[in-house]
Structure 1
Amino acid sequence: MQLTQEWDKTFAQSDKVDHQKVTFKNRYGITLAADLYLPKGADQQKLPALAISGPYGAVKEQASGLYAQIMAERGYVAVAFDPSYTGESSGTPRNVSSPDINTEDFSAAVDYLGLLDYVDRSRIGVIGICGFGGMSLNAAAIDKRIKAVVTTSMYDMSRVMSKGYFDSMTAEERSAGLEQMNQQRWVDAANGEPTMAPPGLPDPSQLTGEEPQFVKDYVDYYRTPRGFHPRSLNSNGSWTVTNPLSFMNMPLMTYIAEIAPRPVLLIAGENAHSRYFTEDAYKAAGEPKEMMILDGLAHVDLYDQVDKIPFDKIDAFFGENLK
């Protein structure tokens, strides 16, 4: 794999952290590309480690890499990875996602971290941002090696795709959507490749002002210099038309209670349109669990607003639970 070696992140490089590009395979043979962030001088120590990914449709050069670098500054070995079929990771066709494979991606990152000489494999946690918050909870439920999990601005992608926002999708709408994607499969099969959906986010100049606030917030992050990255689906591309199929009847939160007795910290903004995913996950999770609803914050604020993201709390949570 030819990985970009120059610093091409949406955030400045820290002089407190060593950084390197790495790869590792998941259980399906897909090679994942990742950025490994190490506290300077880490080689002689056995350190706790974190696997980090998200948001959904983003790449490791965006929010997940920012989180990883900041947590490395605080003494963790942190790996931010591109999910299968996206970014610099392998897998064809491109620009598809899967509740199963993307859950496995977290476990593959745990595999990788646990083989590093300077990582204490009994002290590995995960952070999932946005749609990969749901995937991280599913991974923690099935992978007992994950000792603690944090989500920020969590989305349950299976719920939103199969039921719509706030579960507003009717049975007729669900059936019609499935029928449309089922018919699309014949088109794709005849063409020999999947059809790409239209770009999900407009250019800022195309906003009319009538869009929901969360759409404006997404555009402000992904489609402006604040968070734009050329390999990010949300910045510069789209998913396949049939991408939702794998999420339509594969609910990610089914086994969330089985994370217990390992701890969960769920963080969301007070004004986030996605807040209900976090609140419902908190209700379903077993003890011990914590939920933080941050006053005045919206969904996208927890992507890159380092003065607003509660890194002190996240650090303290992992410090207590990755002993």
Structure 2
Amino acid sequence: MKTANLKSATIAALLGIGLLTGCTNSTTNQKPSDNMETLNLTQEWDKKFPQSNKVNHRKVTFRNRYGITLAADLYEPKNAEGKLAAIAVSGPFGAVKEQASGLYAQTMAERGFLTLAFDPSCTGESDGEPRNTASPDINTEDFSAAVDFLAALPNVDAERIGIIGICGFGGMGLNAAAMDTRIKATVASTMYDMSRVNANGYFDAEDSSEARKAKREAINTIRTHDAQNGTVTSGTPGLPAEIKGDEPQFVKDYFDYYKTDRGFHARSINSNGAWSPTMALSFINMPLLSYINEIDNAVLLIHGENAHSRYFSEDAFKHLKGDNKELLIISGANHTDLYDRMIPFDKLEAFFKSNLK
């Protein structure tokens, strides 16, 4: 990527646009439920993919250890017997469960797994304030809370639980796998390391103490303003209202997914909103993938050959140890092709069946 584009992306992130987050953003402005046990969940099918007649679907909620109630879709194979292997799915960063994560979850349920696609804390239909905020710690915990929920279901084998993290939640998923030994198999698809990209910029072009200080100062100026005025500054949407043609290719790819009928969803931050501009502070300060070299259980990293983000998976793979780790590069695919168009479901099925047995 050209230097000018890198600088534009940095400025955009500081304004809360979120280009550094890896999946430009949109969110809902709906107020979270005051009752932490009961969320106002949409009951009609409002996904970006057709409903399958091979699985049973229902809405569920569960709490993480911070007391935030998460909203999720549970997919169960029809006529399944006995205790099943289960998979929790989340991402992309700034998306909702009605988009890519739901497609992954429903398709894997068609292949025999009980699956759970959830909205991360403070986004989508999940609770938590301030809205449109991400956190390396809380969002890692969201995966473990999903494991808590799945392990308690009577038709789930608690010893056979895996996770799929997409885009920025691929990094969160790897972080969860390093912490949570109950996660027996992990897939990170088209993964972003959110700490690295916020701290260092794309391709580490801003990896200096001076650049990080400038980011911190800009973001903390917003914090001071909010503290003194009792406000919560909202960010600027990460994607333009229309494409002019001179944008970086990855912006065009995001637009093609989030801003068209292909993937637009009103509750998605990337489609219809903006991240809180102060959330980058915690990602800059708290590296996500520090202990992935200690993951004992199986890991599959999947990335597109032509994805601008490919280096995140390639570099993460270098730190993984053991003979149960694999990096799969999908020929001809870009970053967003792995949201809905070029997902290697046969490989995913084989990976989980081999490692959740």
TM-score (norm 2): 0.88
Match of 1:269 in 2: 304
- Say whether residues 1:313 and 2:342 are aligned partners: no
C-alpha displacement of 1:248: 0.7
What code does the residue aligned with 1:191 have? N
Match of 1:66 in 2: 103
- Summarize deviations over 1:41-87 as a string: whole Å, max 9, x none: 23x42000000000000000000000000000000000000000000
Q: Which moved more, 1:65-74 or 1:163-172?
A: 163-172
Which residues of 2 match residues 135-284 of structure 1 at below 5 A?
135-169=172-206, 170-203=208-241, 206-260=242-296, 262-284=297-319
For 2:134, which of 97, 116, 121 is the aligned residue? 97
- In the alignment, is the contact (CA less than 8 A) between 1:137 and 1:256 conserved in 2? yes
Give the distance between the partners of 1:33 and 1:190, measured in 2 at CA.
Answer: 33
What code does the residue aligned with 1:21 have? K
Give the distance between the partners of 1:314 and 1:191, measured in 2 at CA.
Answer: 49
What code does the residue aligned with 2:158 have? R
Unaligned runs of 5+ in 1: none
C-alpha displacement of 1:191: 2.9
Q: Give the secondary-structure state (helix, strand or coil) at the position aligned to 1:199.
A: coil
Give the distance between the partners of 1:130 and 1:25, measured in 2 at CA.
Answer: 23
Unaligned runs of 5+ in 2: 1-38
Give the distance between the partners of 1:322 and 1:98, measured in 2 at CA.
Answer: 29
TM-score (norm 1): 0.97
Match of 1:77 in 2: 114
Give the distance between the partners of 2:277 and 2:343, measured in 1 at CA.
Answer: 33
What code does the residue aligned with 1:213 have? Q
- In the alignment, is the contact (CA less than 8 A) between 1:93 and 1:193 conserved in 2? no
Match of 1:17 in 2: 55
Quote the sequence identity (%).
66
- Summarize deviations over 1:17-53 as a string: whole Å, max 9, x none: 10000000000000000000000123x4200000000
- Summarize deviations over 1:164-215 as a string: whole Å, max 9, x none: 0001114322111100111111111123232111000012xx3221111110
Which structure has the higher relative contact order (CA within 8 Å, separation 6+)? 2
What code does the residue aligned with 1:230 have? A
Q: CA RMSD in A?
A: 0.8
Give the distance between the partners of 1:241 and 1:301, measured in 2 at CA.
Answer: 27
Give the distance between the partners of 2:196 and 2:350, measured in 1 at CA.
Answer: 31
C-alpha displacement of 1:101: 0.2
For 2:82, which of 38, 42, 45 is the aligned residue? 45
